[in-house]
Structure 1
Amino acid sequence: MPYRNNCEGASGSFFLVNKNYELSFFKIETPDDLGSFLEKNPAVGVPIVEIIAHKYRRNFMSLLSRSFEGHCFSIEQRLSVFGAADLVYHIVFTPLTVDGVTNAVVCTVVNMSSSRGLASMIKEYSHLASHQLRAPITNILSLSTITNYSKLEAYDALKLTQLLSDINTQAVKLDEIIKMLNEVLNKRGHVDRFDDFGVKAAHQHIVLVDDDVITNKMHKMLIRKHPSEKKVVVFDNPQKALAYILEHKPDLILLDLHMPDIDGWRFLEMMEELNVFIDVVIVSSSIDPREHSKAKSFLCVKDFYTKPLTIEKVNQLLDY
């Protein structure tokens, strides 16, 4: 089955790390493929921390440490190369566990930069279906649940309720079709559920970060319906949101993933770089299982909610 068969045109290497965080064995397909990912040439017995480039060391070691706790991760990492196109790697951390004890972790690094053909096309289609097409549909689903405006006359409210019901029916059908398409394309993948992080905190100060204005309005309205009072601050600009978070230290951040300029992944990286460790819940239109797995690789991310949010999901999130 060679892994390569599933990644047409890709080349891969792997490293076996023992419980002392030393390199026990390794195989490098092509040294040049690892580019700037390595600080120096690997050697058996050398601490893995000395091999990984400083720029990527912190995140790598964090994931490796969590893999020794029994967690498996599959993420993508883009590496910048001066004067050339970026390198894109698919990195998999697999714990080797015997009788409940993890004695080693296998780290597989696959260079996807040169990948072409069917695998690349499928990945692109999956991304478009998951994000571009679902985004407006989730807004329709959200809007179609607002049927309780008390200021409307009874007759108008009845007509509006019927209209929204029809919109909702069609949106649900479209949403189900897209989910089926993504399940076909990602049938080997699975959605990693988040672990139980213990008792929930009393989230009283919440920041919403999403470039979609309608989404922000809908989510703010849903949170306002929660029995306990919450301070809700909304941002459609991630940079401004980060500045606010640094100054005011909210309790919880609801974060969209796919935003222009600074996307959710970069936002999370910036939080880590600034040593900001505030609970984050991803709220995204994505149904791609790889993104659920990637979200688990960030310590501050506590859960992953698929849009649209509902009053039931909000209560589940905020009740403690």
Structure 2
Amino acid sequence: MRHNVTAAPTLLVTGGNGQVGFELRRSLVPLGRVIALDRSQCDYLCLDDLRRVVRSVCPDVIVNAAAYTDVDGAESDIETAYAVNGIAAGVLAEEASALGSLLVHYSTDYVFDGRKAEPYVETDPANPLSVYGKSKLAGEEAIAAAAPPALVLRTSWIAGAHGNNFVKTILQRSRESSNLSVVADQVGAPTTASLVADVTAQIISRFWLGGGRTSFPAGVYHLAAAGEVSWHGYSVELLRYAAALGVDMKINPARIEAVPASTYPRIATRPENSCLDTHKLRQTFGLHLPDWQSGIHHLLEQILL
């Protein structure tokens, strides 16, 4: 289908009330008409409804921020996890292919088993340890099978000002208790939802809407903040900066106990190494990805000030 190039482009965002979706509603506004949907407006489990919505909107770009993200819950709710993360992603890819629209889809570091010593590159074999990771990999495979112009962005350790996340949990616990122990043998790069949304907008604007559709560098890319840290180190920095902002807390950040993941058995197995190599994205799109500390500091300022 040919789009009217003289009109403002239409961008359809699914999962508009999630952490990344909420930020996309801000970052994409300068690019055109943004239609953001949440589950109350579009049932991602009803594939006919999903197709109907896409066809009625006829978007130039579909940004799929909808996801089943309860990692432990997915172990028992397998059907729903695969329906949202896998099948629905494939339906969106089929509709994007039919329309000639760009599909932007978010995946995860959990498609890897975490046993590699170095950061993962896009071509490393996927070997998810959990149902969540397997369902997200199924989404990647469904998109590849439909073969639309697609950008699959694997992210890690997302936190945003909107919604529940690790940052808010640690802040709450610091106010309630003088004792806190956090896992120290799992590492990754805390990445803000705003960074993911802003990078997405930059790529769409410069490389899709900017006139390069026929040469758009589609594919899988890793998108995460620079650097790496354990959950324990992350917690220490969170509370150190929160204290500098004047937050009253019961615990001294320097006294957070570092413990192995085995201390807190989880239903779903998490990868020990969640670090993603972002060289491909930075080189292809000419973008700078800041260190995780600067993003988290800004996020704390949003939440606390």
Q: What TM-score comes out, normalization by structure 2 length?
A: 0.32
Greater share of strand residues, 1 or 2? 1
The structure having more radius of gyration, on CA atoms, is: 1
Q: Which has the higher contact order (CA 8 A, sep 6+)?
A: 2
Q: What TM-score comes out, normalization by structure 1 length?
A: 0.30
